[in-house]
């Protein structure tokens, strides 16, 4: 059987699920079945090669999760090494009287060549390797694994909330959120496994020490008692065999311990460990220059190794100069790309209509310190975040959100930004691009140091923290986001709030053209035969103003076409469209629950409002201002009670007064949904949880509200 046939056979075993059981059976057999010296040579060589392969995989991994099987590999490698120790101990004790070559060439080579045949030197070298492995590497790696596991588990809720925040802001898709949640779970599992796997390495080091003493004292007893060897000869043979056996097992153990320490101390990056170390260590030429200067000063002291010190100082000085020159060239190139010279005409030109620029529908102005966030050449993350916000809102609202025009504004504070719609500012705040925002979602387990502020999108308490406080803040329950996410979330919130202002004639025409591909007759009968385009635009704007998506253009168009013969009023047509969209509206508010909890008006109060609507001026109502204030405060209290219980706040009223009440509470009580009786689907049960009003109120003097 050649090598290719052997690999194919191993693959077939692996596919059939026989690889792992067969490997475990072979390792157990090594502890029971005597192995010839040639088999020990092959297996010890394989053990060394396996440890080196594992270390190379760890070094070139970009993040710890790229080698998630490492704890299992570490366990199997440790078991195989212990099985080899048992097998070699059997051979050493049985055949050690025959000489130092009785246990194979590998053990003999490590006992004769590596330590020069001197068992005293071998004992010292073996003791040093054990101390380095057990006291330094293994103990440190175990401590790092323990701390990483604890902090990773504590930070899981904060990471899950951060993923939900990015998903709600439109920065990531459902698939990306699912993948990131899986990564969080895998990370917790990995560090938990590494915390236990580090104990395998520690136990292996202790077992190596015990096996060494057992082999030496057992060999002396067997050699002198059973084979009549002289004490010096028995000590020479069995000690060299034991030291060779210990070294050939301890070196792979040290390699795997080092790989464990490297993996648990790695920070996730897009580069392998070598590239990352070179990039970070030599990113500041001044550090290399100062170190070279100190080495050079030591080199001129009489009695010091002048040649070695001065040579190294010269190489370090040249490296400092070369790195400085390279950084200067990179800075000049970047500056040229940012500040492209503009051609200036020597002759003044006449003004034209091109000099009158249109107003940006959506504008974002940033201070000069925030320019790197929106600079594509510097990898600014905000551009991709804004694209994600536009995509998410376009899918949710039902029309294409216009591009965001970004420009710098020197009149703003360095860390400030301003969001404008149709040239009018609607929001502004300050962010710190070199910090992260830790948002208090309502329940945290401590305070983190930083600059206190409020989340600009939702007004929650927050703190701008240093990046190294990220894991600590998440462990305390904070939701931690970077500066670009803060800006993108604020932009998403404002665009949702002002979605009706973003919809114009061009956007509605595009919606109708898209609907015409599947419903040509419906669109043809609606515009312009039944309704002018302007009325359709106003109806859709009214729906968006009440936070109702317009994705279902077919239902909206059919409702408008049905009622267009009776009225051309945009308000009445909006009410008709809401009735057709009733199932979608109620599902958006209350989900799939069969029962809808509502707040109702007392019949007397509802009758007063109906009379006021009918007798008041157009578009308004006339009644006592004190009654309006009492009703508003009562609705706010009921809404707060529903929100505390985790239930939606829905006010159910008669259809004629729904539109007026909705305008009254839209901005002052944003959590209250106002529905008309005919907007609730027939399959939903209504449960009145509270009522608002008086049974015999006085009308008093009527005023316009």
Residues 222-275 have pLDDT tens digits of: 778 777 777 777 777 777 777 777 777 778 888 888 888 887 776 555 555 556
Report the alpha-carbon distance of residue 207 to residue 72 in Å, rounded. Answer: 19
Are 76 and 211 contained in the same domain? yes
Final residue of a domain: which of 498, 530, 553? 498
Contact 688, 600 (CB under 8 A): yes
Minimum mean pLDDT among 47-61, 70-84, 206-220, 678-692: which range?
206-220
Minimum mean pLDDT among 45-49, 308-312, 365-369, 699-703: which range?
699-703
pLDDT tens-place string over residues 453-469: 999 998 899 999 999 99
Are 548 and 678 contained in the same domain? no
Residue 40, number of CB atoms within 10 A of its CB = 23
Are 29 and 137 contained in the same domain? yes
Report the alpha-carbon distance of residue 194 to residue 141 in Å, rounded. Answer: 9
Residue-averaged pLDDT of the chain: 80
Q: How far apart are the first and last CA of the chain?
A: 95
Q: Please give the DSSP secondary-structure letter assigned to residue 622.
A: E
Token digits for 505? Answer: 């004639």
pLDDT tens-place string over residues 171-187: 777 788 888 888 888 77
- pLDDT confidence of residue 695: 46
Q: Which residues contact 26 (CB under 8 A, 6 or more apart)?
A: none
Report the alpha-carbon distance of residue 322 to residue 256 in Å, rounded. Answer: 37
pLDDT tens-place string over residues 49-107: 888 888 888 887 777 777 778 888 888 888 888 888 788 777 777 776 666 566 667 77
- pLDDT confidence of residue 283: 65
Minimum mean pLDDT among 85-99, 646-660, 666-680: which range?
85-99
- pLDDT confidence of residue 346: 47
Token digits for 161? Answer: 């909330």
Question: 314-321: which pairs have CB atoms within 8 A and are 24 or more residues apart?
Answer: 316/288, 316/289, 316/291, 316/292, 317/289, 317/292, 317/293, 319/282, 319/285, 319/288, 319/292, 320/285, 320/286, 320/288, 320/289, 320/292, 321/285
| H, E, C per residue of 479-507 | EEEEHHHHHHHHHHHHHHHCHHHHCCHHH
Q: What percent of the chain has pLDDT over 90?
A: 29
Domain presence at residue 565: yes
Which residue's entry shows tokens 């590494």? 194
Sheet strands (E) in 323-432: 362-366, 404-408, 416-421, 424-430
Token digits for 22? Answer: 């067969």
* 454: β partners: 461
Closest C-alpha to 596, from 692, 680, 687, 689? 687
Across 98-112, 277-291, 529-543, which has the greatest mean pLDDT? 529-543
- pLDDT confidence of residue 18: 60
Domain presence at residue 336: no
Minimum mean pLDDT among 203-207, 572-576, 627-631, 645-649: which range?
203-207
Report the alpha-carbon distance of residue 526 to residue 516 in Å, rounded. Answer: 11
Alpha helices in 226-269 (DSSP H): 231-265
Token digits for 285? Answer: 């030429």
Report the alpha-carbon distance of residue 82 to residue 92 in Å, rounded. Answer: 15
Are 266 and 289 contained in the same domain? no
Q: Which residues contact 287 (CB under 8 A, 6 or more apart)?
A: 281
Token digits for 675? Answer: 């529905």
Please give the distance of CA 158 from its chain centroid, rounded to a whole number.
10
Report the alpha-carbon distance of residue 70 to residue 72 in Å, rounded. Answer: 5
Looking at per-residue pLDDT, the higher value among 409 and 108 belongs to 409
Across 309-313, 569-573, 628-632, which has the greatest mean pLDDT? 569-573
Are 177 and 299 contained in the same domain? no
Contact 187, 152 (CB under 8 A): yes
- pLDDT confidence of residue 297: 84
Are 390 and 320 contained in the same domain? no
Q: Give me the helix-helix angle, 533-545 and 505-518, nearest 10°.
A: 100
Are 494 and 509 contained in the same domain? no
CATH label of the domain that carries residue 620: 3.40.50.12790
The CA-atom distances, in angstroms, between 337 and each of 366, 405, 433, 499, 519 are 20, 20, 22, 37, 50
User: 591: left (phi > 0), else alpha (psi -120 to 50), else beta?
Assistant: left
Domain presence at residue 194: yes
Closest C-alpha to 654, from 702, 621, 627, 629? 621
Q: In the chain, how many domains are there? A: 5
Are 626 and 682 contained in the same domain? yes
Closest C-alpha to 239, from 325, 144, 126? 126
- pLDDT confidence of residue 697: 40
Please give the angle made by the CA atoms of 173, 384 and 479, to the nearest 5 degrees: 65
pLDDT tens-place string over residues 480-534: 999 999 999 999 999 999 999 999 999 999 999 999 999 999 999 898 889 999 9
Are 54 and 195 contained in the same domain? yes
- pLDDT confidence of residue 271: 55
- pLDDT confidence of residue 494: 94
Token digits for 69? Answer: 């099987």
What's the domain range around 69? 24-273
Are 370 and 466 contained in the same domain? yes
Please give the distance of CA 577 from its chain centroid, rounded to a whole number.
41
Are 195 and 72 contained in the same domain? yes
Residue 298 has pLDDT above 50, yes or no: yes
- pLDDT confidence of residue 581: 93
Please give the distance of CA 378 from its chain centroid, rounded to a whole number.
21
CATH label of the domain that carries residue 532: 1.10.8.540
pLDDT tens-place string over residues 582-629: 999 999 898 888 899 999 999 888 888 888 777 554 444 556 677 778
- pLDDT confidence of residue 272: 57
| H, E, C per residue of 350-372 | CCCHHHCCCCCCEEEEECHHHHH
Residue 121, number of CB atoms within 10 A of its CB = 13
- pLDDT confidence of residue 705: 26
Final residue of a domain: which of 498, 515, 535? 498
Are 416 and 321 contained in the same domain? no
Domain presence at residue 573: yes
Q: Torsions phi, psi of 650, nearest 5? A: -125, 125
Which residue's entry shows tokens 């729904």? 658
Report the alpha-carbon distance of residue 216 to residue 348 in Å, rounded. Answer: 98
- pLDDT confidence of residue 211: 77
pLDDT-based confidence at residue 218 (cuts at 50, 70, 90):
confident
């Amino acid at each position: 059987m050649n090598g290719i046939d052997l690999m194919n056979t191993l693959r077939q075993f692996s596919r059939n699920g026989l690889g792992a059981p067969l490997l475990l059976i072979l390792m157990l057999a090594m502890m029971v079945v005597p192995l010839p010296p040639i088999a020990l040579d092959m297996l010890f060589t394989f053990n060394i090669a396996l440890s080196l392969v594992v270390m190379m995989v760890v070094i070139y991994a970009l993040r710890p999760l790229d080698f998630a099987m490492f704890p299992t590999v570490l366990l199997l490698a440790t078991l195989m090494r212990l099985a080899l120790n048992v097998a070699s101990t059997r051979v050493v004790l049985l055949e050690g009287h025959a000489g130092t070559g009785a246990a194979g060439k590998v053990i003999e080579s490590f006992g004769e060549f590596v330590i020069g045949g001197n068992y005293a030197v071998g004992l010292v070298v073996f003791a040093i390797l054990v101390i380095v492995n057990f006291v330094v590497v293994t103990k440190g790696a175990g401590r790092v694994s323990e701390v990483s596991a604890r902090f990773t588990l504590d930070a899981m809720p904060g990471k899950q909330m951060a993923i939900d925040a990015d998903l709600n802001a439109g920065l990531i898709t459902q698939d990306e959120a699912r993948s990131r949640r899986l990564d969080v779970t895998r990370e917790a599992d990995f560090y938990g496994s590494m915390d236990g796997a580090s104990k395998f390495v520690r136990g292996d080091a202790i077992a190596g020490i015990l096996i060494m003493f057992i082999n030496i004292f057992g060999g002396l007893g067997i050699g002198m008692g059973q084979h009549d060897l002289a004490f010096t000869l028995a000590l020479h043979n069995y000690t060299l065999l034991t030291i060779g056996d210990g070294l050939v097992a301890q070196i792979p153990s040290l390699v795997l311990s080092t790989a464990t320490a490297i993996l648990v101390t790695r920070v996730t990056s897009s580069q392998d460990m070598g590239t990352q170390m070179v990039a970070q260590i030599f990113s500041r030429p001044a550090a290399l220059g100062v170190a070279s200067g100190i080495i050079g000063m030591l080199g001129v002291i009489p009695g010091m190794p002048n040649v070695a010190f001065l040579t190294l100082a010269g190489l370090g000085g040249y490296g400092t100069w070369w790195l400085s020159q390279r950084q200067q060239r990179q800075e000049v190139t970047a500056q040229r790309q940012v500040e492209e010279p503009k051609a200036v005409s020597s002759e003044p030109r006449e003004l034209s209509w091109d000099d009158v620029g249109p107003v940006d529908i959506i504008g974002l102005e940033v201070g000069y310190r925030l320019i790197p966030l929106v600079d594509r050449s510097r990898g600014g993350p905000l551009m991709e975040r804004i694209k994600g916000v536009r995509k998410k809102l376009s899918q949710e609202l039902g029309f294409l959100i216009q591009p965001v025009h970004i420009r710098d504004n020197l009149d703003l504070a360095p860390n400030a930004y301003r969001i404008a719609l149709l040239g009018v500012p609607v929001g502004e705040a300050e962010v710190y691009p070199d910090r992260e925002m830790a948002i208090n979602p309502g329940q945290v387990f401590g305070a983190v140091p930083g600059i206190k502020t409020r989340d600009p999108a939702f007004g929650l308490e927050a703190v701008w923290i240093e990046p190294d406080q990220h894991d600590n803040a998440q462990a305390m329950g904070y939701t931690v986001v970077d500066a670009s996410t803060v800006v993108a979330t604020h932009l998403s919130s404002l665009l949702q709030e002002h979605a009706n202002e973003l919809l114009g004639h061009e956007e509605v025409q595009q919606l109708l053209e898209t609907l015409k591909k599947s419903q040509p007759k419906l669109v043809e009968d609606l515009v312009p035969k039944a309704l002018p385009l302007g009325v359709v635009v106003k109806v859709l704007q009214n729906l968006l103003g009440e936070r109702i998506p317009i994705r279902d253009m077919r239902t909206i168009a059919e409702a408008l076409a049905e009622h267009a013969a009776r009225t051309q009023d945009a308000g009445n047509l909006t009410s008709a469209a809401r009735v057709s969209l009733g199932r979608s509206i109620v599902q958006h508010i209350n989900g799939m629950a069969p029962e809808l909890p509502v707040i109702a008006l007392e019949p007397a109060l509802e009758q007063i409002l109906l009379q006021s609507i009918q007798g008041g001026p157009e578009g308004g109502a006339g009644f006592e201002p004190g009654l309006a204030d009492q009703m508003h405060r009562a609705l706010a209290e009921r809404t707060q009670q529903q929100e505390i219980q985790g239930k939606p706040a829905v006010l159910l009223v008669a259809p004629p007064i729904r539109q007026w009440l909705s305008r009254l509470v839209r901005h002052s009580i944003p959590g209250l949904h106002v529905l008309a009786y005919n907007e609730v689907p027939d399959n939903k049960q209504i449960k009145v949880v509270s009522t608002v009003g008086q049974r015999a109120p006085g009308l008093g003097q009527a005023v316009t509200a």
